[in-house]
């Protein structure tokens, strides 16, 4: 009866486990199903059968390291490479520094879907020194790097962003550390050298005939797995999402706050964000340094943890019984 209810109400055959659970909650809420139904022999037999199914390990997905990101950026920016190669370097750097999902910077289809989450050309803007002018990325043909003060990225289509509300992320170009500004310079060079229209994806270009060429998901997957192999890792451990995990993991090791990591990854809760972090030697050693300070937690703390406020009737402190 319950399975039939799922099929009839949700129009799905066969029902998936999430659909069944959703139907179950609906049934219990409306009291359409007796709670005692779980004691039925058929339900018990089904549960026993599921318990005997062979265990399959969860998919192993690991974050990229900064060294791996740099390797790809250097590899695909060597002199003599074509537009497609340079576009890969820009994509990898954007995914790492902005903690992007694959759908936010690459396309799974030759022609971008109208519902794509990708940055459009007008979603990446450049603020000129001593002005309030923000130029979209497809209007930089005569602008020099020295003219740029700020680069602003606006995520407008990600799945957890309310329709019509963008999330702006901006960076200044005046940092003295070249490693910090290398990413921004790559973005600027791509914006300047690629021919695009306002609504074209940022990671695309038009050839002399006007045909649009977009960066493909399969291309990025190939590059990511190839780099993993070159570093001696199992390529099955790495997908495009390993770049989204990389930044938060490095930030965690560097001691960034939870709120900063949540904000950068656009996660709404810490439990969700923690699924993307991986522990590191650096972060573990930081924890060791923290917990070897004898002044942090003392014998007095133990005493205060164990003693409750006085009982109102006796006026005497009460010892907590754990």
Domain with residue 78: its CATH number is 1.10.443
Are residues 120 and 16 located together in one domain of the fold? no
Q: What is the pLDDT of residue 50?
A: 67
Are residues 185 and 108 located together in one domain of the fold? yes
190 near 176, Cβ under 8 Å?
Answer: no
**Is residue 183 in a domain?**
yes
Q: What is the pLDDT of residue 66?
A: 93
Looking at 174, 200, 226, the residue that finishes a domain is: 226
Looking at 226, 249, 270, the residue that finishes a domain is: 226
In whole angstroms, what is the distance from residue 30 CA to residue 85 CA?
57
Query: What are the start-end ranges of the H helices in the chain?
Result: 2-10, 17-29, 41-51, 66-75, 83-98, 178-193, 217-230, 241-254, 258-265, 270-274, 281-291, 299-306
Longest C-alpha distance within the chain, in Å?
91
Q: What is the pLDDT of residue 69?
A: 94
**Is residue 156 in a domain?**
yes
81, 86, 140, 167, 274 from 89: Cα distances, Å: 11, 5, 20, 24, 27
Are residues 141 and 221 located together in one domain of the fold? yes
Domain count, the chain: 2
Give the CA dihedral 234, 239, 242, 244, nearest 10 degrees. 170
Q: What is the pLDDT of residue 12?
A: 47
Q: What is the pLDDT of residue 190?
A: 96
Question: What is the pTM for the complete model shown?
Answer: 0.73
User: Which residue range is the domain that position 16 belongs to?
Assistant: 2-51
Q: What is the pLDDT of residue 278?
A: 84
Are residues 103 and 206 located together in one domain of the fold? yes
Are residues 215 and 79 located together in one domain of the fold? yes
Question: Any residues with CB less than 8 A from the CB of 75 and at least 6 apart, and which?
Answer: 89, 227
- The pLDDT profile of the chain, 322 residues, written as one tens digit per residue, is 555 554 454 444 455 555 565 666 666 555 555 666 666 677 777 777 766 766 555 567 899 999 999 999 999 999 888 999 999 999 999 999 999 988 889 888 777 766 667 888 999 999 999 888 899 999 998 899 999 999 999 887 666 666 667 788 899 998 888 877 889 999 999 999 999 999 899 999 999 999 999 999 999 999 999 999 999 999 999 999 999 999 999 998 888 888 999 888 888 888 888 878 888 898 888 888 888 888 888 887 777 776 666 666 666 666 655 4
Hunting for tokens 């609504």 — which residue is that? 199
Are residues 100 and 142 located together in one domain of the fold? yes
**Is residue 164 in a domain?**
yes
Query: Which tokens is 136 given?
Result: 């979209």
Are residues 89 and 218 located together in one domain of the fold? yes
Are residues 180 and 95 located together in one domain of the fold? yes
Looking at 192, 226, 260, the residue that finishes a domain is: 226
Are residues 45 and 181 located together in one domain of the fold? no
Q: Count CA atoms within 13 Å of residue 317 on its CB side.
A: 8
Are residues 175 and 203 located together in one domain of the fold? yes
Are residues 203 and 91 located together in one domain of the fold? yes
Are residues 14 and 163 located together in one domain of the fold? no
**Is residue 209 in a domain?**
yes
**Is residue 258 in a domain?**
no
Q: What is the pLDDT of residue 20?
A: 60
**Is residue 294 in a domain?**
no
In whole angstroms, what is the distance from residue 138 CA to residue 198 CA?
6
**Is residue 268 in a domain?**
no
- Measured CA angle at 197 (ends 240, 189), to 5 deg: 60
**Is residue 159 in a domain?**
yes
């Amino acid at each position: 009866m319950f399975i039939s209810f799922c099929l009839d109400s949700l129009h799905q055959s066969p029902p998936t486990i999430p659909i069944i659970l959703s139907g179950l909650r609906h049934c219990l809420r409306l009291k359409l199903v007796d709670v005692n139904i779980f004691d039925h022999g058929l339900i018990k037999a089904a549960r026993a059968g599921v318990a005997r199914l062979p265990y399959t390990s969860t998919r192993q997905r690991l974050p990229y390291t900064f060294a791996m990101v740099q390797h790809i950026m250097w590899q695909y920016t060597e002199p003599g490479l074509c537009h497609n190669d340079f576009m890969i370097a820009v994509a990898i750097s954007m995914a790492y520094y902005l903690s992007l999902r694959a759908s936010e910077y690459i396309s799974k289809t030759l022609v971008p879907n109208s519902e794509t989450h990708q940055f459009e050309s007008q979603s990446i803007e450049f603020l000129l020194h001593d002005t309030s002018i923000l130029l979209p990325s497809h209007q930089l043909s005569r602008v020099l790097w020295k003219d740029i003060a700020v680069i602003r990225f606006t995520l407008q289509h990600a799945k957890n962003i309310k329709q019509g509300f963008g999330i702006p992320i901006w960076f200044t170009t005046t940092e003295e550390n070249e490693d910090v500004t290398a990413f921004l310079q790559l973005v600027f060079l791509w914006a300047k050298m690629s021919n695009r229209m306002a609504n074209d994806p940022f990671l695309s270009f038009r050839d002399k005939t006007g045909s649009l060429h977009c960066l493909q998901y399969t291309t990025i997957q190939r590059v990511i797995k190839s780099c993993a192999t070159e570093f001696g890792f199992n390529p099955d451990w790495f997908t495009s999402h390993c770049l989204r995990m990389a930044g938060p993991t490095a930030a965690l090791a560097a001691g960034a706050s939870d709120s900063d990591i949540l904000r950068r990854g656009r996660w709404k809760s810490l439990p969700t964000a923690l699924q993307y972090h991986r522990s590191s030697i650096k972060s573990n050693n930081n924890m060791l340094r923290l917990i070897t300070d004898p002044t942090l937690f003392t014998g007095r703390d133990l005493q205060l943890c164990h003693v409750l406020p006085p009982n109102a009737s006796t006026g005497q402190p009460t010892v907590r019984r754990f």
